[in-house]
Amino acid sequence: MKAWKVILAAGLLFAAGAATGAAGARIRTRTALRAELARRSPLPGIAWQRYEFLRRAQRDLKLTEEQKTRIDGQVQASQERFRQLWEPIAPQARAEFETLREQIRRELTAEQQARFDQLLKKSEKERRRPREGTGTNESAEKRAPRSEGK
């Protein structure tokens, strides 16, 4: 009976290690994908989400290499078209978001403003995270610096 418990414990330990390894591999793959996306072009978040969805769909649908190649070409062409659409309006969109932030801040108490600023910083950090470590963060370079503590 004692040997059975040892074998069960070893099996559970092995399963936990395998699950941890699989989770780590998935995170590493997702990070590598985001780095590749960042290298390709500076796109707004919705385009990145669409691209990640297509990558998951390719995996889950078990596409052939030929299908993957054709779809990847279509996605890349779409990203380029989207980038061309986004570039002229990006400065206006950023200005509009900044205007909205300032309007919201004026409605808040000092304590709420401080918390709002923290939330914005956290959101910005999370939004930029996929692009870190790529050496190219073109969209961040194009952004006007935000004023702190208004």
Same domain, 50 and 8: no
Q: What is the pLDDT of residue 115?
A: 93
Q: Which two tokens stand for residue 104?
A: 């919201």
Could you tell me if residue 30 is inside a domain? yes
Could you tell me if residue 148 is inside a domain? no
Range(s) of the domain holding residue 29: 1-40
Tell me which of 108 and 48 has the higher pLDDT: 108
Q: What is the DSSP string of 55-106?
A: HHHHHHTT--HHHHHHHHHHHHHHHHHHHHHHHHHHHHHHHHHHHHHHHHHH
Same domain, 81 and 10: no
Check whether 136 has a pLDDT greater than 50.
Answer: no
Same domain, 25 and 68: no
Contact yes or no for 145/45 (Cβ under 8 A):
no
Overall domain count for the chain: 2
Q: What is the pTM of this model?
A: 0.42
Could you tell me if residue 106 is inside a domain? yes
Same domain, 66 and 97: yes
Could you tell me if residue 149 is inside a domain? no
